[in-house]
Amino acid sequence: MSIVYIVSAPSGSGKSTLVNELFKMVRHLDFSISYTTRPPRGSEQNGKEYFFVSRDEFESMIAAGEFLEHATVFGNYYGTAWRFLREAENRSNDLLLDIDVQGASKIKEKIRGAVSIFILPPDREKLEWRLRTRGLDSEEVIRRRLDTARREIENYSKYDYILVNNVLEQSADELRDIVLAERLEKKSGVELSEEEKRLVETAQACRLDQSRERVQPILASFNLQAVKGT
Ligand code: ADP
Ligand code: 5GP
């Protein structure tokens, strides 16, 4: 059985950057390329970041039951196709989904044992700065993304792991360690090497219940409060 990893983050937190780094470091991991009706941005290519389709095509796929989940984000359809999970399983690979908060909850309901990771920016100011320096969005879209970020961040406590993307290299290593630690957990009973013990510790430190102190100032920068019990 493949492990399904779900990665969500407010837009601009550095999720695509981290996921790219992860794929350079971890083998036997497939990326689920979502379908979307939004137009390509910057250097995005059809079949690489997304499959870019028309609303009609997307709606036909919904009718044909081709989606594991789909949602409307910023006025466009986005959906995860079943076929990526089937293909990963056939190759004995794990599968990573880059989806929003709504999609993550739907996948968690459908796939038992799916591992969810929420990426947070260090604070609101840095998120705004990253959105601006990325240079892909208009001022109006940046405003909308910042408002949405606040609402998305409110859902952080639904995730298994919290990753604060401060120093890129360190965050990428943490993401790798979470992925590898989950694989090790599946092989329970096997004696761990020193390196494996170290990565399991790094992953544990990112677990939701270990993240309270790190999350607190980030929430405060978005005028949010921590959820009780985390
Ligand atoms: P997302 O996929 O979450 O929307 P991106 O990966 O496009 O975000 O990152 C947004 C911008 O922030 C990009 O310009 C990227 O180079 C930059 N960035 C990503 N991670 C970091 C980091 N740890 N420190 C500084 N800048 C970062
Ligand atoms: P963007 O347009 O910036 O690439 O993505 C906007 C949002 O849509 C992001 O939060 C991204 O994670 C989410 N998204 C991308 N693909 C899917 C998908 O297949 N399903 C869902 N539910 N959300 C997706």
Domain of 119, CATH number, reads 3.40.50.300
For residue 31, tell me if it sits in a domain.
Answer: yes
Question: How far away, in angstroms, is 165 Cα from ligand 1 center?
Answer: 9
Ligand 1: which residues within 6 Å by Cβ? 9, 11-17, 130, 133-134, 165, 168, 171
| Residue having the nearest C-alpha atom to atom 1 of ligand 2 | 11
Percent over 70 (pLDDT), the chain: 99
- Token duo for residue 212: 């309270």
Choice between 229 and 52, residue whose per-residue pLDDT is larger: 52
Name the pTM for this structure.
Answer: 0.94
Q: What is the pLDDT of residues 143-152, one digit of tens each?
A: 998 999 999 9
| Residue having the nearest C-alpha atom to atom 12 of ligand 1 | 130
- Token duo for residue 81: 């196709």
CB 13 within 8 A of CB 119: yes
| Residue having the nearest C-alpha atom to atom 23 of ligand 1 | 168
Question: How far away, in angstroms, is 59 Cα from ligand 1 center?
Answer: 32
For residue 149, tell me if it sits in a domain.
Answer: yes
- Token duo for residue 167: 């120093």
For residue 229, tell me if it sits in a domain.
Answer: no
Closest CA to 90 of 182, 6, 2, 180: 2
For residue 230, tell me if it sits in a domain.
Answer: no
Instruction: Please list, in sequence order, all residues whose beta carbon lies within 8 angstroms of the beta carbon of residue 83, skipping any fewer than 6 positions away.
Output: 66
For residue 226, tell me if it sits in a domain.
Answer: no
Domain count, the chain: 1
Which residues in 172-196 are b (16+ Cβ under 10 Å) and which e? Answer: bbbbbbbbbbbebeeeeeeeeeeeb
Q: For residue 77, what pLDDT is reported?
A: 97
Average of pLDDT values for 19-42? Answer: 96
CB 178 within 8 A of CB 206: yes
Q: For residue 159, what pLDDT is reported?
A: 97
- Please say whether the dihedral angle defined by the alpha carbons of residues 118, 123, 124 and 130, taken in this order, is positive or negative: negative
Instruction: Please list, in sequence order, all residues whose beta carbon lies within 8 angstroms of the beta carbon of residue 194, skipping any fewer than 6 positions away.
Output: none
Q: For residue 18, what pLDDT is reported?
A: 98
Helix (H) or strand (E) holding 115: strand 115-120
Q: What is the mean pLDDT of the chain?
A: 94
Q: What is the pLDDT of residues 205-223, one digit of tens each?
A: 999 999 989 999 999 999 9
Q: Output the DSSP codes for 193-204.
A: PHHHHHHHHHHH
- C-alpha 206/C-alpha 164 separation (Å) is 9
| Residue having the nearest C-alpha atom to atom 22 of ligand 2 | 103
Q: For residue 228, what pLDDT is reported?
A: 64
For residue 227, tell me if it sits in a domain.
Answer: no
**Closest listed ligand to the CA of 171:** 1
Residue 87 domain boundaries: 4-221
Report the residue among 8, 11, 17 best suited for mutation to probe ligand 1: largest number of ligand atoms under 8 A from its CB: 17
Which atom belonging to ligand 2 lies closest to the Cα atom of 103?
Answer: 22
**Closest listed ligand to the CA of 168:** 1
Question: How far away, in angstroms, is 15 Cα from ligand 1 center?
Answer: 7
Report the residue among 68, 72, 98 best suited for mutation to probe ligand 2: largest number of ligand atoms under 8 A from its CB: 98
Average of pLDDT values for 156-182? Answer: 97
Q: For residue 209, what pLDDT is reported?
A: 96
Q: What is the pLDDT of residues 41-99, one digit of tens each?
A: 888 999 998 999 999 999 999 999 999 999 998 799 999 999 999 999 999 999 999 99
Q: For residue 72, what pLDDT is reported?
A: 92
Closest CA to 2 of 79, 103, 69, 84: 84
Percent over 90 (pLDDT), the chain: 85
- C-alpha 209/C-alpha 228 separation (Å) is 11
The radius of gyration of the chain's CA atoms, rounded to the nearest angstrom, is 18
